[in-house]
Amino acid sequence: MFITFEGLDFCGKTTQANLLEARLRGHPLPGQDAVRPVRFLREPGGTRISERLREILLDRRNLELSETTELMLFAASRAQLVTEVIRPALRAGETVICDRYADSTTVYQGYGRGLDLQAIGHINRLVTDGLVPDITIVVDVDLDEIERRRREAGLASDRMESSGRAFFERVRNGYLELSHKEPDRVVRVNGMESISAVEAAIWQVLQKHSTKSIERISRGAP
């Protein structure tokens, strides 16, 4: 199974992805009869080449990076990760959890930067070779809370995090629109709740998804 986590930085998605990874190392996914190996990955990153590209993308010294260059570097990092790690892991029967994937490009470079969404769709399909997550969890938190958490963390913003409030409003709206367009795959959870409450909501999402998948298979649907 291929599970991805999405959302704004400081929404708690990485915390929740790590909690799910830990849980699945001791318990099978709903609908599975045994624990399977779990692979946790992050984007951009996950391979030697992808990590080098991550350094370029997040470095505040690279403010002159054009929007199209940014798009292509994220795409290149993803292409390497899919080919080198994700597809082999899935073929081996592993559960793959990825902190960000192609939806990040759709909302950050598409909704956020204003690049052509149709072109981004073509690029995403090319670099992933059509590999789509089984389920995508969007941890949704409003901008005031995101800014509060960033101040509380006391961390310097990276290049992407320095894009301004209006940019992140567009990104958040992009995630919400995706959840409306693809409700069977992209599921919003309320990240304003406690960590344990969000964790429980995500597990419930996976249970519902597993039930729907089993019903679909029993009907002989694709």
16-34 per-position pLDDT tens digit = 999 999 999 999 987 788 9
Give the model's pLDDT for residue 221: 47
Give the model's pLDDT for residue 218: 42
Q: Averaged over 169-192, what is the pLDDT? A: 97
Give the model's pLDDT for residue 11: 97
Return mean pLDDT, the chain.
Answer: 92
126-179 per-position pLDDT tens digit = 999 999 999 999 999 999 999 899 889 887 777 777 778 899 999 999 999 999
Domains assigned to the chain: 2-218 (3.40.50.300)
Give the model's pLDDT for residue 67: 94
What string of H, E and C letters represents the secondary structure of the chain?
A: CEEEEECCCCCCHHHHHHHHHHHHCCCCCCCCCCCCCEEEEECCCCCHHHHHHHHHHHCHHHCCCCHHHHHHHHHHHHHHHHHHHHHHHHHCCCEEEEECCHHHHHHHHHHHCCCCHHHHHHHHHHHHCCCCCCEEEEEECCHHHHHHHHHHHCCCCCCHHHCCHHHHHHHHHHHHHHHHHCCCCEEEEECCCCHHHHHHHHHHHHHHHHHHHHHHHHCCCC
Give the model's pLDDT for residue 213: 62
Instruction: Reply yes or no on whether the pLDDT at 215 is more than 60.
Output: no
120-130 per-position pLDDT tens digit = 999 999 999 99
Instruction: Reply yes or no on whether the pLDDT at 78 is more than 60.
Output: yes
